[in-house]
Amino acid sequence: MNRTLKLMKKNVALYFFLLPAVLYLFIFNYMPMYGIQIAFRNYNFADGITGSAWVGLKWFEFFFSSPMFSVILWNTIALSLYSLIAGFPIPIILALMIHHTAGKKFKRMVQTASYMPYFISTVVIVGMISAFFSLNSGFINTIITSLGGQARFFMGEPGYFRHLFIWSGIWQTMGWGSIIYLAALTSISNELHEAAMIDGAGIYRRIWHIDLPGIKPTMVILLILACGGILGSNFEKVFLMQNNLNLSVSEVISTYIYKMGLTNMQYSFSAAVGLFNNIINFAILAIVNFASKKLSENSLW
């Protein structure tokens, strides 16, 4: 204890630099947790948070018994798992391809071209999707009809919603996501590759036996973080792509919370749904982190 106090006194200037970040987290992340009790009350503006009647687990029971529970839970899980399975390996593959590209100018051009979509706003991305897949004027339907096919209303058919959502997101984020893996790849010693080449190993063997083990800790950490948001989804994009025709597959927990809370003004109910979502996400994060620590000795904590 005395040693810790001495170290803190010695590095007091560093703690002053840390203070703004701590205050920011406390004010914007911890203080709002006071409002969690809304989920256990019948909240209304007139009585305030503490003055509203305490109802216990009423809203959780109401949510679990609702016909929408299984629908939105499945839609959220399906969308998140699809995104994780399809989207997680692609930045790794892109990073490996860029890393082993010989020409520096071509490598920079590919990096720039793959990074740029990340800086396009979600609203613009959804606008592009709507324009490209428009029933009457979209170039995708123009190509289909020119080849003798029949134009389809992609944005309105439930079967296409998840594919459009996931693959447009992969296109937008894969370049940015590859940056971390490229940084990890550059830290791998070239001597390992040179020794492998002397032994006759080709590029695929070097990737499998040198590159992938070298970036394994980074992959594990990012996978754990991705699993921690398995019940989360890009609310803004889902909401913008959502319509009455694809609602059966596009209604997820985040959009349901928005509609119940702000549109229908069921604040306590929406708070209960949000709390349920966060608890499940934290539990999944803890389980995946524990499993990763046991299996690969890499973890967040």
Q: Measure the CA angle with vertex 66, ends 65 and 70; round to 5°.
A: 95
Q: Give the pLDDT score at 1.
A: 64
Residue 270: other Cβ atoms inside 10 A: 23
Q: Interhelix angle for 158-186 vs 89-99, to 10°? A: 40
DSSP H helical ranges for 47-121? 48-51, 58-64, 68-87, 89-99, 104-115
Distance of CA 82 to the CA centre of its chain: 11
Question: Within a 13 Å sphere around the CA of 45, how many CA atoms are in the beta-carbon half?
Answer: 2
Which domains, ranges and CATH numbers included, belong to the chain?
61-122+166-296 (1.10.3720.10)
**What's the pLDDT at 15?**
87
Helices 104-115 + 158-186 axis angle, to 10: 140
pTM, 2 dp: 0.86
pLDDT at 285: 87
The conformation of residue 54, written as its DSSP 8-state character, comes to E
Going residue by residue through the chain (301 aa), what tens digit of pLDDT does each one get?
678 888 888 888 888 888 999 999 999 989 988 889 999 999 988 888 888 999 999 999 999 999 999 999 999 999 999 999 999 999 999 999 999 888 888 888 988 899 999 999 999 999 999 999 998 888 899 999 999 889 999 999 999 999 999 999 999 999 999 999 999 999 898 899 889 998 888 889 999 999 999 999 999 999 888 888 888 778 899 999 999 999 999 999 999 999 999 888 899 999 999 999 989 888 988 888 888 888 777 777 7
